[in-house]
Structure 1
C-alpha cells in the first residue's frame, strides 16, 4: 500500500518498475476496459492466485491499480491519475527533445 509520505520521484520509480513485467502489463491491459475481480484476472492470465497476488501488490504499491473488497472477492481497477503522472514525467523529455539540436537527438551510428 502506498503511504502518504511517498514522494513523487518514488512513485515514478515504483510506477516504471511495476510496468517492467509482462504479467503486470497483462493485468493493466485487462483492467483498461473495466474493473475485474481477482478470480477473473487469474482466469484470463492463466496464473494462480498466489502468483498474481504478488504482482497485484506491486501494482498497488506503485499506485497504478486500486482495489476494493466486495464480499469475499477483491476487485481491481486502474488508478488513472497515477498513469497521468507517469505520462507527465515522460512528456518533459519530449519537450527537451524539441529544444535540443537535431544532432544531439540522433541515435549513434
Structure 2
C-alpha cells in the first residue's frame, strides 16, 4: 500500500472527523457514481459555493476526495484507497474482538 495511506492515529481521526458531517456524507454519495465540479455539487446539494468549499477542503485534507483543475473549474472525485484505510482500521476491531461479548463489568 502507498505510504500516503499509512494507518496512523492522525489519519484515522481526520478521516472519521470528515465523515461526521451530514453534508460531507451527501457530497461523498454524489461522488460515488461520478466526478463532479463544484458548481454541480452546489446545485445538487442546494448550498453555496463558500459553504461547500469548507466541506470539500475537510474531505480533501482527510484524503477522501481528490481534485483536479480543468480550465476554471475544479472537479472532485472519490479517493477510494483512503476509504480502504478507514475500512481496514475498523476491520481490525472485528477481527480481534468477539462480536457480542458477554459483559460482566457494569458501571456504577
- Band the TM-score falls in, shorter-chain normalisation: 0.7 to 0.9
Q: 2: CA distance between counterparts of 1:101 and 1:28?
A: 31
Q: 2: CA distance between counterparts of 1:8 and 1:101?
A: 27
Counterpart position of 1:79: 79
Q: 2: CA distance between counterparts of 1:73 and 1:35?
A: 12
TM-score (norm 1): 0.85
Counterpart position of 1:32: 32
Q: 2: CA distance between counterparts of 1:91 and 1:7?
A: 13
Counterpart position of 1:103: 102
Match of 1:74, SS?
Answer: strand
Q: 1:2-28: per-residue Cα shift (whole Å, max 9, x none)? A: xx7x97221110000000000000000
Match of 2:66, SS?
Answer: strand
TM-score (norm 2): 0.85
After TM superposition, the structure 1 = structure 2 runs for residues 21-100 of structure 1, keeping only pairs within 5 Å, are: 21-98=21-98
Aligned Cα RMSD in Å?
A: 2.0
Which segments of 5 or more consecutive residues in structure 2 lack a partner in the other structure?
Answer: none
Q: 2: CA distance between counterparts of 1:26 and 1:13?
A: 20
Q: 2: CA distance between counterparts of 1:101 and 1:70?
A: 50
Q: Quick check: which one's helix share is greater?
A: 1
